[in-house]
Amino acid sequence: MDWKLLVSTFVSIFVAEIGDKTQLATLSLAAGGKSKLAVFAGSALALCATSAIAVLVGEGLSRVISPIWLKRIAGGVFIILGVLFLFARAEL
């Protein structure tokens, strides 16, 4: 097990998820629901499922595209989305 990769992945995902719309949806479901355990299990399973999909797609893409190019493409997409969101907010 690559413990350094495990910890860096945990910290990255944990920080990214704090205060996002998924966490807010989970908060509202827990506030309105009777079973907090069901809300926790459902949200944990959903995060695991989406993470599994991302890992499988990432592994598949890394067989076709160099990992450095995947990082560059992902970085470019984040920059483009950031600029688009910035200008979309400016119009409001």
Per-residue pLDDT at 29 exceeds 60:
yes
C-alpha–C-alpha distance, residues 80 and 78, integer Å:
6
pLDDT value at position 30?
93
Per-residue pLDDT at 4 exceeds 60:
yes
pLDDT value at position 79?
95
pLDDT value at position 75?
93
Q: What is the pLDDT of residues 40-77, one digit of tens each?
A: 999 999 999 999 999 999 899 999 999 899 999 989 99
Which residue type is seen at 17? E
Cβ 30 vs Cβ 36: under 8 Å: yes
Which residues lie below 8 Å from residue 17, measured CB to CB, with a gap of 6+? 23, 47
Quote the pTM value.
0.69
pLDDT value at position 88?
80
Q: CB atoms < 10 A from the CB of 4, how many? A: 8
